[in-house]
Amino acid sequence: AASSGAAAGEEKESPGTKLVAAVPPEIVGNSSGGGSPGLEAGTGSVDGIAAKGSRDQQRWCKRCKLYQPLRTKHCHDCGVCVRTHDHHCPWVGTCVGEGNRLYFYWFLLAQSVELAVFLCEGVFVFFSDDWHLHGELLVDSPGLVFGLVVIGLLLIMVTALLCFHTYLAMANLTTWENISWENISYLRSMQQDCGSPFSMSLRSNLAAYCCPPWCRLEECGCSPNIAGLKRTEDGWAIWELGEPHLPEVLDMNYCCWCCPDLDHA
């Protein structure tokens, strides 16, 4: 029965959840002490963090029956808890989180470039070699005009989303935290304007974003602790609450914002 239940869970699993799941689906809910390496017996805690004494920071997932690591959220669509949860994206059919948010960023960048190229090619149709506008084409090609308007609107939306995720990466925030700050137990007591309690220097924030768990740091020339984070044996980040702050480059009150020291930002 257990094996059939596991098989059913695998069939429902979203394509990207293995990259972002907080714990493997097969040990979710094992709070009775089965000896699973990712769960402490009888506590439902993960990352070797005992639930006792840390319940004010860790959130209890009623569905998975475990204490979630900081920044983890249960996704009802994927059916698993997702590390460093950003959002569930219906366009890619899975959650965006710690394991695949870099892929999502490059996806947005590629879509922005693609839309910009198509928009330029479409606009050039209405101009001659000497940049003279052929007004009659605007009347004779209403479908093309409509298509260009749609492409233009999509370009604005995708580019805005790309800029937003650039800000999130620099500030070490997620979409979920930015939108639901007041509803997150370990964040609601802090002022959101002061920045993320997980934020480090600008360089460390970007390193944490650009070096996901599956990244082989030694092969890309980065030191293992480039982001200054503790990590699990599987490479997942172990987030710790610190003093909320914004990197200097994002702090509008910083007088020398144009020349920040990236190591101390």
SS (H, E, C) 163-210: HHHHHHHHHCCCHHHHHCHHHCCCCCCCCHHHCECCCCCHHHHHHHHH
Helix (H) or strand (E) holding 159: helix 142-171
Strand, helix or coil for residue 21:
strand
Which of these is catalytic: 89, 210, 215, 222? 89
Taking only the tens place, the pLDDT of each residue in 247-264 is: 876 655 544 444 444 444
For the chain, 265 residues long, the average pLDDT of each consecutive 10-residue run is: 43 41 39 33 39 54 87 90 93 90 95 95 78 72 88 96 96 94 89 90 88 64 64 84 81 47 48
pTM of the model: 0.72
pLDDT for the residue numbered 32: 34
pLDDT of residue 84: 93
**Using CA atoms, how far apart are residues 224 and 231, in angstroms rounded to an integer?**
10
89 tagged catalytic: yes
Q: C-alpha distances in angstroms, 131 versus 124, 126, 151?
A: 9, 9, 22
The token pair that represents 212 in the structure block: 């996901």
CA distance linking residue 163 with residue 141, whole number of Å: 33
